[in-house]
Amino acid sequence: MPAKRIIACLDVKNGRVVKGVRFEGLRDAGDPASCALQYCREGIDELVMLDVSATLEGRLAALQTVERIASEIDIPLTVGGGVRGEDDAVAILDAGADKVALNTAAVEDPAVLQRLASRYGSQCVVLSVDARRANGGYQVATRSATQATALDALQWARIGTALGAGEILLTAIDRDGTREGFDLQLIADFSRALNVPLIASGGARNADSFADALAAGADAALAASVFHDGLLGVAAVKQRCRERGIGVRP
């Protein structure tokens, strides 16, 4: 088993990091590549870049951003957000991303997972599942969580992995940005039922909340704002995980 991972997420819009990043000593805290490098120095295990641009120009800028980040960092980079299909995924991987994360495009055309996996291998294809609590269970939402679907989240994750997704990025929408802690029940259910690695997202609060998510079965725990806002350092999170007996990369 590999070490459990701590992942930072950069939300990028029109080539700039949005959601304030308060790194000290950075000349330009809105520059994605500078932020990415700073996270590397702090010992983050992996980066996720989410493109939240709404326009075509924004998405093209995002591709250049992927290229810049990928050329400077020496840890893995996953890119998601606004991936409309196979062509976008290929462009993102060509720009230097190690993995591509799909949500809406996969819901609308599940076979895209199969096509990407047969060319690049499953380890390159991440299925992003935005899960919202509904009717006593969890349902998949698409289009940046603005659109509800009738898909059961776990059922959909099973289908996605059978088609070729090699990793699940599971976001508990009800926890996203709330700092209430990760949804441990959701994580445990997914981890038990799936045989691919699971990245838990949504609700990061303090160092213990990461350890909780990893102990509940997540293989990686992701956060954006607690890191961006400087509330929490990567080293402190890893230290707490080690104290609780969770193996992380030194």
Least distance in Å: CB of 161 to another protein? 10
- The single residue among 184, 219, 222, 228 that binds another protein, judged by CB under 8 A, is 219
Closer to another protein at the Cβ: 141 or 199? 199
> Quick check: 139 binds another protein (CB under 8 A)?
no
Residue with tokens 């230097």: 96
Q: Catalytic residue among 11, 31, 45, 88, which?
A: 11
> Quick check: 184 binds another protein (CB under 8 A)?
no
Residue with tokens 């992942």: 7
Residue with tokens 């954006």: 224
Judged by CB under 8 A, the number of residues near another protein is 41
> Quick check: 75 binds another protein (CB under 8 A)?
yes
- The single residue among 1, 27, 87, 150 that binds another protein, judged by CB under 8 A, is 1
From 15-23, 119-127, 134-142, 173-181, give the range in contact with another protein by CB under 8 A: 119-127
Residue with tokens 């062509």: 87
DSSP H helices in the chain: 32-42, 56-72, 86-94, 104-108, 111-120, 153-163, 184-193, 207-215, 225-228, 234-243
Helix (H) or strand (E) holding 147: strand 147-152
- The single-letter code of the amino acid at 129 is V
From 57-65, 118-126, 133-141, 231-239, give the range in contact with another protein by CB under 8 A: 118-126
Least distance in Å: CB of 191 to another protein? 9
Q: What angle do CA 15, 18, 19 make, to 5 degrees?
A: 165
Q: Which residues of 76-85 are buried (b: 16+ CB within 10 A; e: fewer)?
A: ebbbbbbbeb
> Quick check: 99 binds another protein (CB under 8 A)?
yes
> Quick check: 76 binds another protein (CB under 8 A)?
yes
Verify whether residue 130 is a known catalytic residue.
Answer: yes
Beta-carbon contacts of 232 under 8 Å, excluding residues fewer than 6 positions away, are 204, 206, 207, 223, 226
Closest CA to 10 of 40, 38, 32: 32
**Distance of alpha carbon 151 from the chain centroid:** 20
From 24-32, 68-76, 147-155, 229-237, give the range in contact with another protein by CB under 8 A: 68-76
Q: Catalytic residue among 31, 88, 130, 219, which?
A: 130
- The single residue among 22, 192, 242, 249 that binds another protein, judged by CB under 8 A, is 249
Q: Can you read off the two tokens belonging to residue 233?
A: 């350092």
Verify whether residue 11 is a known catalytic residue.
Answer: yes
Residues identified as active-site: 11, 130
Enumerate binding residues for another protein (CB under 8 A).
1-5, 40, 45-46, 67, 70-72, 74-76, 93-99, 117-124, 166-167, 194-198, 219-220, 249-250
